[in-house]
Structure 1
């Protein structure tokens, strides 16, 4: 995620939002975001969670402690609605279901990602990322540590030590058993919660529109659980949709940034009174935030066109883009994420006919037209 100017209030581990809605601060280990806001929605059939948080012992402890503060045991959870498949949102869903028997709902596009991840061939991601970064123009000094890390992980996994190996983020997340259908009300007794498909951050990201009068009487049409789509002070990471098992599909031909910008406009038209995001804090003036994010990305695209006066590979473009810190201070792993964001912006410019690949270049370079 990229930094953008904004600030807001902070509260304790549990925040009451009124009308049978609370948020719990569930920590994300070693991440500058700090925590995921897991929302609790009271229904006639029992509490429903919106997202669950990262799969980590401390995160689990905070989740269950927060629920206990509300007089809720984990076994009382009736269902889980997941805004998208990322591990800081979906990670603890498997454990929640084990302890409660709760149903778990997600959009079909992200269910497909979860399903493919669970059956992915050993080494498929390693090979895919290696090829992808090489094609983007990543230098050998960036690729070598990644290859070494994968080789070390494979070696440790092959050792029959009998010791339990540490799982990767999201590995124990549940395969959802309900599909969120865009535009439909979810089956939540006593509540009106409508799914709004907002692809961009992931192909199946959804926001959830609580079509009920605001408990404090704020003007507008209900409240929006926005996941990572609409945040008060940062812009979510928009990279290419990654899929090593479908190289000719959506990952190769899609337009995540275009999807995100279209989704922003769709959310802006809802006219909600308040936004309850998965990070930072609740806020009003959703339409104003949408306008600011649309302007931010238009400004970024315009700036990239200026950089592309000279042909650049995606890696070279990422090196020259403005981030929240200088390129030489961006951690090694975060540079791969930055390159994916550069590629998403390049894809958008190509789709708009404002940039094109330079014939005969390898790695492929792009230039403004």
Structure 2
């Protein structure tokens, strides 16, 4: 696949990303700030929290992980912009992953801000983060991994792999549900919500037509592609959802994309086209595996694909993500008659004319 490189709109952010550091707080333009909040023990290193100046305080897009280091960085970043944590009036959460949602409850406790989330993600909060409910989620994940053919020796480790980061979230039910197309009541802003499912069922982007900005969360990033996976809380065909949501934002009239990771950039349509081509290439690679090795489990398919490092060196948590992302591509192929599933423990995948 031909490489496409976006134009960074912040050279300082790009240099920090490529240099392995955390960028400085930046004034993106009048009334808008970018505050990097560190993510512990994670190759992404930070989430970019955007601070929107309003007539009565500020709103933030995303919040960061629930750690003291992250909270202190958010408070310090607000201070650079001339605000205190008590000035936060709203937390617009793009999705419920810990690096975006984790600090929302703590910010609300300190400021009285309202938390907004899409209904599809709001409905997942309790099972994902409540101590009394998490057991059922782990059990459902384990059952899915059995169907995928994960080796018994690693099954329990992979099923519970996300438990180690649950403490990074202060569980907080949203105060407001944000639907697709909603216009947010933020004085001084014409912000509109766009439902962009795939990375999570309720992922939201926010656009400002007058400023020609897209706050893209994890939906569209400058260099990497977000994980789109089948798991117990995903939709039945998340890759179809994701590709449809990419097409929905491709032709927006925006001049700058403000993602939650890496750095800000300019070419939305070009980046969307590149991400779509990446998934087309991955689908073709999976079809090739099925063509020469019919009757293979999802796990076996995943081990035969091209990843950024050798399969043996991928840590357990990321192996689970790789398996579930492979499953999302298999499900997409199945829905279009380009792969067939023979159900069992494990399910076996074949090319449509095999067997």
Q: For residue 240 of structure 1, what is the aligned residue in structure 2? A: 230
Task: Tell whether 2:142 aligns with 1:125.
Answer: no
CA RMSD of aligned residues (A): 2.1
Measured after TM superposition, the shift of residue 270 of structure 1 is 0.8
Using structure 1 for the length normalisation, give the TM-score: 0.86
Q: Is there any run of 5+ residues in structure 2 with no aligned partner, and where?
A: 14-22
- Distance in 2, matches of 1:368 and 1:271, equals 41
Measured after TM superposition, the shift of residue 144 of structure 1 is 4.8
- Distance in 2, matches of 1:339 and 1:279, equals 23
Q: Deviations over 1:12-65 (max 9, x none)?
A: 320111031111110110000110000001111210000000111111111111
Would you say the 8 A contact 1:314–1:342 is kept in 2? yes
Q: Deviations over 1:175-198 (max 9, x none)?
A: 110111211211111210011110
Measured after TM superposition, the shift of residue 241 of structure 1 is 4.4
Q: For residue 158 of structure 1, what is the aligned residue in structure 2? A: none
Measured after TM superposition, the shift of residue 141 of structure 1 is 2.2
Q: For residue 114 of structure 2, what is the aligned residue in structure 1? A: 103
| Alignment counterpart, residue 176 of structure 2, candidates 175, 178, 181 | 178
Would you say the 8 A contact 1:199–1:256 is kept in 2? yes
Q: For residue 137 of structure 1, what is the aligned residue in structure 2? A: 149
Give aligned pairs, total: 335
Using structure 2 for the length normalisation, give the TM-score: 0.89
Q: For residue 159 of structure 1, what is the aligned residue in structure 2? A: none
Task: Tell whether 2:218 aligns with 1:228.
Answer: yes
Q: For residue 37 of structure 1, what is the aligned residue in structure 2? A: 48
Task: Tell whether 2:348 aligns with 1:365.
Answer: yes
TM alignment of 1:237-316, pairs within 5 A: 237-243=227-233, 251=235, 254-309=236-291, 310=293, 311-316=295-300
Q: For residue 157 of structure 1, what is the aligned residue in structure 2? A: none
Q: Deviations over 1:199-251 (max 9, x none)?
A: 000000011001113xxxxxxxx0000000000100000001433xxxxxx64
Measured after TM superposition, the shift of residue 269 of structure 1 is 1.8
| Alignment counterpart, residue 84 of structure 1, candidates 95, 108, 114 | 95
- Distance in 1, matches of 2:273 and 2:91, equals 31
Q: Is there any run of 5+ residues in structure 1 with no aligned partner, and where?
A: 154-165, 214-221, 244-249
Would you say the 8 A contact 1:271–1:286 is kept in 2? no
Q: Deviations over 1:111-136 (max 9, x none)?
A: 11113335553521332222121111
Stretch moving more, 128-137 or 260-269: 128-137
> Secondary structure of the equivalent of 1:116?
helix
- Distance in 2, matches of 1:109 and 1:346, equals 23
Would you say the 8 A contact 1:5–1:234 is kept in 2? no
Would you say the 8 A contact 1:203–1:241 is kept in 2? no
Would you say the 8 A contact 2:138–2:160 is kept in 1? no
- Distance in 2, matches of 1:122 and 1:49, equals 28
> Secondary structure of the equivalent of 1:366?
strand
